[in-house]
A and B are shown apart, each in its own frame.
Chain A
Amino acid sequence: MASKDIYFIPEPSKWPIVASLALFSTFIGGAMTLNQSSNGKYVLILGAIGIIYMFAGWFSSVISESLAGNYNKQVDVSFRMGMGWFILSEVMFFAAFFGALFYARVLSVPWLSGEGHGVATHQFLWPAFKASWPMSVMPNSTNYTAYKDTIPAFGVPAVNTLLLLSSGVTVTLAHWALKKGQRTQLCAWLFATVALGALFVYFQAGEYHHAYTELNLKLSSGVYGSTFFMLTGFHGFHVTMGAVMLAVILFRSLKGHFTKNDHFAFEAVAWYWHFVDVVWLGLFIFVYWL
């Protein structure tokens, strides 16, 4: 019987338990650090190293199984479903923060300034507060310092939108090249995608620097600052991870991995990249622009 007829069930593997231990150590280290324990950072670093070790080990065994031809079409479908639903869970994670943004803008800030059923709250707590968005003066203005300005949409963020959108194009061009078997083009377009992603992160970092040092706009600048930095921050983190994943794919392409018909890892990363792209469009419209 050809191995292609058998659904590949991996042999017992140490990676799952290594992964759990590494995450465990990361979480303990993180919690200790937040509790101001001086040893926390060592536990945290240990966990982080564990996670990197786990990813490297787990994925290299998957890659060698794949190169050995163990995976049939059905295994491929399982992987596809896994990645697809994982991306949906990521969408829902962002949804929580978008929900917070909409709630603050549409409901809680207007209520605090006396709209709707917020009349009494307004009168008794902070009668001087006036709703606005971006909200630079907080309801309790003694505990918060106002910021000078927010980041205008049609500056760096617009450039970043262009960067990410064109990286979506380049990754598709890379895919087309791969499907035609043109490896040089594949690597070139992939390289362009990674470069665009890196440039995006670089600009984003510059923007954060500008906000913190010149605008006095911080994570602690009331609910505007909270939603702004958490949304763009988590997104930036995802772009970074996506770019690292793309770089791994580039490296593997250079080594000659992937064939015309069999390149799930490439597609998974491409999907992830498009997801990051779409989230950015939401950010650009709702966080920066409107």
Chain B
Amino acid sequence: MSTKAHADHDHHDHKPTGIKRWLFSTNHKDIGTMYLVFSLIMFFIGGSMAMIIRAELFQPGLQFVDPQFYNSMVTVHALVMIFGAIMPAGVGLANWMIPIMIGAPDMALPRMNNMSFWIMPFAFALLLGTFFMEGGAPAGGWTMYPPLVLQTGKAFPFLIFAVHFLGISSIMGAINIIATVFNMRAPGMTLMRLPLFVWTWVITAFLLIASMPVLAGAVTMLLTDKYFGTSFFNAAGGGDPVLFQHIFWFFGHPEVYILILPAFGIISQIIPTFARKPLFGYASMVYATASIAILSFFVWAHHMFTVGLPINGELFFMYATMLIAVPTGVKVFNWVATMWKGAMTFETPMLFALAFVILFTIGGFSGLMLGITPVDFQYHDTYFVVAHFHYVLLTGAVFALMASAYYWLPKWTGHMYDEKLAKIHFWLSAIFANVLFFPQHFLGLAGMPRRIPDYSVQFADFNMVSSLGGFAYGISQLLFVYIVIKCVLGGKKATGQVWEGARGLEWTLSSPPPYHSFTKSPKVTKALMDY
């Protein structure tokens, strides 16, 4: 059996066929593709929930859904988008790109890789199945605060186990990425030559390994509090509901960086390509990313300023939060400096990247405002927070993912996508995302609370604008699906190089790359990255 395996490996491009190719896969590209397709599907499932939310908020009063269902929408929308859309998209990109960026034959642990993927559909079957249960889907918010979440009906244990299940998948994925990057680099691919996407992903993987188990612990305590009589979060027995918030956000804040760091990596790949200049301040990018990751474990209580923390705690977490803006600023500075005096062109990936830099920065600024303890007393749990995290997550993380899709689609499929349609997709997305979320800043400052299906009439105008932006943004994303399908099916042949200004190992391969890319390690020299 083993000799056969080797014989098979020596001649290239035999691939298993039919359904087994996908179910039993040990190929990083196939697994990457499955992750990406899955995340796109989840993006639309989560997106339809958002449409229901915006429809309900189109006017004051209760129109379409009852409040309990509305709450489920808010809760499950967040869980689906975070764990089902953004995270798997990042892992999918990592699977596809890391081995070919570092010159490896595959991921370090290919079977475990497939298991990380195949957990995802089952975990979401657990979560989405709860819509058909007595008591409905979870409705206590994605943050699952007790005691509210303990009132969930039959859905409760399914929610908890879905979180456990997803955690297992993330941890295995993270271990795989770390082993791949530290053990599988081609000769000459030194750590300080790694493409930034690879760097940001290794650091993300550390965050995953350190934070997902903490979430698992937190939800385990919820489970035992509900069914086994423990009192972790019950003051009557000496516990404290606030304890849950501490444990949750110890996971939760690193989690937001898990969502954004791979996006930082993508942007750091794309901007040099289209500015035709090496990334400005490579080393400082690496150190800034690492500092963000480390600091992210010391800022969690900025989500809890209004919960009644001792004053020293409030101060500590305020200053720590301010501090994290410094390395973030370094990154934005470096992106801008990379473009400075560059020979820029504006293909769709670059457009999305530029929009990212501007709009993510807006989200960063609202984050800074929220990080100032005394003013957060006003902003907390209002639409201002919703605006903040959608700027960093939608016009931040999702825009970066869109940029990466356009950037690498020609490499994956061997065809160029339709540039004209893609530009239309970009402009529709960029305009309507702002129509959708910018007014929410004003709503929040004026006092509209988040997670409530009804509101008083003075908020009506901005909500209507926001909803219209939301519908338009949602519909525009169908165009993306069309562009992707069109590109998979055909189009202008892509060269291996694809983009004139692209540098790195992945561009030395044909488009699409052979099924087994580097069975023999390529030699990496400094010239590979030179302009």
Contacts and interface: CB of A to CB of B under 8 A. Distances in A.
Interface of A: 3, 6-17, 19-21, 23-24, 27-28, 30-31, 34-35, 58, 64-65, 68-70, 74, 77-79, 81-82, 85-86, 88-97, 99-100, 103-104, 107-109, 111-112, 116-117, 121, 125, 135, 138-140, 143-144, 218-220, 222-227, 229-230
Nearest to A23: B165
Given A11-B5, A58-B111, A70-B5, A92 B20 contact: no
A101 to B, nearest CB: 10
A27 B161 contact: yes
A11 to B, nearest CB: 6
Interface stretch (B228-236, B287-295, B415-423, B485-493): B228-236
Contact of B243 (A21, A108, A222): A108
A233 B206 CA distance: 27
Interface string B1-35: 11001101100000010001101111000000000
B27 to A, nearest CB: 8
Interface stretch (B172-180, B271-279, B369-377, B398-406): B172-180
A12 B25 contact: yes
Interface in B88-128: 104-106, 108-112, 114-115, 118-119, 122, 125-126
A96 B110 contact: no
A68 B165 CA distance: 34
A91 B217 CA distance: 11
Question: Sorted from nearest, which 9 A-B pairs have the closest CB atoms?
Answer: A96-B217, A220-B229, A140-B236, A16-B115, A226-B230, A12-B24, A31-B157, A223-B238, A108-B240
Contacts of A99: 246-247, 250
B363 to A, nearest CB: 28
B115 A139 contact: no
B122 A85 contact: no
B179 A82 contact: yes
B contact face: mostly helix, strand, loop, or mixed: helix
Interface string B170-192: 01001110111011100000000
Contacts of A79: 109
Interface stretch (B37-45, B54-62, B207-215, B467-475): B207-215
B9 A74 contact: no
Contacts of A85: 174-175, 178-179, 209
A44 B356 CA distance: 46
Contacts of A107: 240
Contacts of B108: 78, 81-82
B179 A81 contact: yes
10 contacts: A20-B118, A21-B122, A79-B109, A82-B176, A121-B235, A219-B224, A219-B230, A220-B231, A223-B239, A224-B238
A23 B122 contact: yes
B169 to A, nearest CB: 9
Nearest to B126: A27
Given A9-B106, A103-B243, A219-B224, A92 B183 contact: no
Interface in B245-300: 246-247, 250
Contacts of B118: 16-17, 19-20
B397 interface: no
Contacts of A109: 238
B243 to A, nearest CB: 5
A88 B171 CA distance: 10
A92 B214 contact: yes
B86 interface: no
B507 to A, nearest CB: 23
B519 interface: yes
Nearest to B162: A27
Nearest to A90: B213
B218 interface: yes
A211 B20 CA distance: 52
Contacts of A24: 122, 125-126, 165
Nearest to B161: A27
Given A96-B250, A140-B237, 17 more contacts: A9-B105, A17-B114, A21-B122, A27-B161, A35-B154, A85-B174, A92-B213, A96-B216, A97-B221, A99-B250, A100-B232, A100-B243, A108-B239, A222-B237, A223-B234, A224-B238, A226-B231
